[in-house]
Amino acid sequence: MATKTLRVDYLTRVEGEGALELDIADGAVAGVRLAIFEPPRFFEALLRGRAGTEAPDITARICGICPVAYQMSAVHAIENAYGITLDAPLRALRRLLYCGEWIESHALHVVMLHAPDFLGFPDAISMAAAHGDVVRRGLALKKAGNSLLRLLGGREIHPINVRVGGFYRAPTPAELAPLAPVMAAAREDALALARFVAGFSFPSFSRDYEFVALRHPTDYPMNEGRVVSNRGLDIAVADYDSAFAEHHVAHSTALQSVLRARGNYCVGPLARFNLNFDRLSPTVQALAAELGIAQGCANPFQSIVVRALELVYACEEAERLIAGYEPPAAPAASVVPRAGVGVAATEAPRGLLYHRYELDAEGTILAARIVPPTSQNQATIEDDLRLIATRDLALAESELRDHCEQAIRNYDPCISCSTHFLRLEVRRR
Amino acid sequence: MSTRALVIGLGNPDRGDDAVGLIVARRIAALGIPGVAVREAGGDMLALLDHWAEAERVVLIDAAAPLTRPGRIHRLDPSFGPLPRDLALGSTHAFGLADAVELARTLGRLPAGMVIFAIEAARFDHGAALSAPVAQAAREAAAMIADALMEERADA
């Protein structure tokens, strides 16, 4: 019996440190493990004993790509515990900040990390020689997103201006106004990018996923909504733990999350898009129709198109929020700590991000739980890989490897922000 | 006054010798050399491309992986070619300094006068101060860069 081992030690274009192991025995895929071996970071433990008001700044440090997502879930969870409701101008500012993160994160992934897969380049640097205009567009979009983070968050990475109750400082209309033309130009870049990536050749692959995302009565979801799925799930965020469970698998230091009733599920842009198409703006809906995916999308390789559509939406939404900006009466509501439990889920660029805190009467955190999108998608990524590897088993190993890597990147996994390589090992027996 | 030269210190202030780029940049900023802007940068190396557009002359200071001797200062001119990979001028994210330089070169955005000071580190421990040889190198690099910038000013 022939045995082969294929190993890729440094796969770039994935955030975090992990490995993929494929076991192939007697010509069939016998096992798939998305192994996350990066040491646990103990954020939930180190939050214990800290003030609830510190949670947004501490958890922002979890990720350099999506710190706003961690801040937003944390701050809304603490506000939930303290019974704080934000007024409309503060809600709008929080949404505008999230638009900035979606823009910079999606631009990074669509152009710099994922597009090279479809255009046949090993990385964005090689791609830039042939597609300089696309890379320039991506960088311009990223810069536009960063400009929102810088103004509203105080700086581009790990923003420091969000506080329980609102913000430390709200921008003046005069400070916000120059960003309107920046967002208009970004929207044009995003439109061109969406049309460009929709022209890629996509592997024929789709699955009957259970998509899970937030759903809001009027808005495309970012900071608020119920947790819904395409198989009838429709719960308040407070009931998250009754519907979902995390469990440990031996090959991963990240917990895997499942629906208690039905198992694996999928969060992220595809889930948001499929569950909230009617909440997108008319122009983005029309663009989706033009690009042929208005009826829904269950091909994870086309997630790049959906991310590009969300880029257009986020730019447009930022323009709308800037145009309608009314400074809040105060940058923050008053905060009175009280004992209790606070929960929140928001839509990180990569999908649903759930936080839960237990606080004592002084506002000290007694327990914290954070369920990031990548751990929720982990088992679904393994399912995709099992199907793709089975389908492509007859291909040369380099092609099999490329397809598997690309399938992982469909999910823009943010395994962690501390290092960035993934080792792919194929064992043939 | 227009920016004649831009000095950018790279690194993480809380990871031992990784802070050396920031410390050198702060030393130069304290001198207040006319026409010289100083910035500090951390994880997002792609954002550097935007900063580089601000000046014709750019000086970058970063920590490098231990290779030969902690505190050794490498002066690199990217106009000669890609940065040496064995100095591991990386990032905690998808793109490191070497990638940013190559991307800028491909897009025609590499400043004409760019020089990179890569200082070999001894340790990257959480919360640690600079090691003694790297602290000494920080003083030397700051003096070297400041002298060059002031000399250029005199020539201008």
In this prediction, residue A16 carries a pLDDT of: 60
Instruction: Indicate the residue type of A386.
Output: R
In this prediction, residue B156 carries a pLDDT of: 60
Looking only at the bridges linking them, the beta strands covering B5-10 and B57-64 are parallel
In this prediction, residue B88 carries a pLDDT of: 64
Task: Please report where in the chains the tokens 């030269």 appear, as a residue.
Answer: B5
Better pLDDT: B127 or A49: A49
In this prediction, residue B54 carries a pLDDT of: 77
For B134-153, what is each residue's pLDDT tens digit? 999 999 999 999 999 988 76
- The predicted model gives B72-98 an average pLDDT of 79
For A66-116, what is each residue's pLDDT tens digit? 899 999 999 999 999 999 999 999 999 999 999 999 999 999 999 999 999
Q: Do A108 and B94 touch (CB under 8 A)?
A: yes
Q: Do A146 and B103 touch (CB under 8 A)?
A: no
Q: Which residue does chain A place closest to B91, by CA atoms?
A: A419
In this prediction, residue A7 carries a pLDDT of: 46
Cβ contacts of A120 within 8 Å, gap of 6 or more: none
User: Closest Cα to residue A96, out of A309, A324, A269, A284?
Assistant: A324
- The predicted model gives A111-128 an average pLDDT of 92
Nearest to A139 among B46, B92, B93 (CB): B46
Chain A (108-147) residues lying within 8 Å, Cβ to Cβ, of chain B: 108, 112-113, 123-125, 128-129, 132, 135-136, 139, 142-143, 146
**Which run of H or of E encompasses A341?**
strand A340-348
For A323-341, what is each residue's pLDDT tens digit? 999 999 999 999 999 999 9
Domain that holds residue B80: 5-155
Cβ contacts of A358 within 8 Å, gap of 6 or more: A340, A341, A365, A366, A367, A368
Strand partners, B75: B117
Residue of B52, B92, B126 to mutate, interface with A, max A Cβ within 10 Å? B92
Measure A405 CA to nearest chain B CA, in Å: 15
For A261-293, what is each residue's pLDDT tens digit? 999 999 999 999 999 999 999 999 999 999 999
Measure B43 CA to nearest chain A CA, in Å: 7
- The predicted model gives A224-244 an average pLDDT of 97
Q: How many domains does chain B have?
A: 1
Better pLDDT: A35 or A284: A284
Give the pLDDT band of residue A119 (cuts 50, 70, 90): very high
Q: How far is CA B31 from the centre of its chain?
A: 17
Give the pLDDT band of residue A420 (cuts 50, 70, 90): very low
Mean residue pLDDT across chain A: 90
* Chain B residue numbers touching A157 (CB-CB < 8 A): 42-44
Tell me the domains of chain A and their CATH numbers. 4-40+395-428 (no CATH), 43-376 (1.10.645.10)
CATH number at residue B24: 3.40.50.1450
Q: Do A13 and B42 touch (CB under 8 A)?
A: no
In this structure, are residues A3 and A406 in contact, taking their beta carbons and an 8 Å threshold? no
**What is the b/e burial string over B98-118, where b = at least 16 CB atoms within 10 angstroms of the residue's CB?**
bbbbbbbbbbeebbeebbbbb
* Chain B residue numbers touching A15 (CB-CB < 8 A): 93-94
Q: Do B93 and A15 touch (CB under 8 A)?
A: yes
Q: Which residue does chain B place closest to A147, by CA atoms?
A: B47
Strand partners, B7: B38, B59
Burial class of residue A70 (count of CB atoms within 10 Å of its CB; 0-12, 13-18, 19+): buried
* Poorest-pLDDT segment among A219-228, B7-16, B44-53: B44-53
Instruction: Assess B40–A contact: CB distance below 8 Å, yes or no.
Output: no
Residue of A13, A65, A125, A135 to mutate, interface with B, max B Cβ within 10 Å? A125
Q: Is the pLDDT of residue A2 over 90?
A: no
For A340-390, what is each residue's pLDDT tens digit? 999 999 999 999 999 999 999 999 999 999 998 988 998 999 999 999 999
- Give percent above pLDDT 90 in chain B: 58
Query: ipTM, 2 decimals?
Result: 0.86
Range ranked top by mean pLDDT from A260-264, A417-421, B85-89:
A260-264
Q: Do B103 and A157 touch (CB under 8 A)?
A: no
Tokens of B117: 């000071």
* Poorest-pLDDT segment among A157-166, A327-336, A416-425, B69-78: A416-425
- The predicted model gives A107-131 an average pLDDT of 93
Mean residue pLDDT across chain B: 88
Measure B153 CA to nearest chain A CA, in Å: 32
- Give percent above pLDDT 90 in chain A: 72
In this structure, are residues A378 and A246 in contact, taking their beta carbons and an 8 Å threshold? no
- Dihedral angle sign, alpha carbons of residues A317, A322, A324, A329: positive
In this prediction, residue A253 carries a pLDDT of: 67
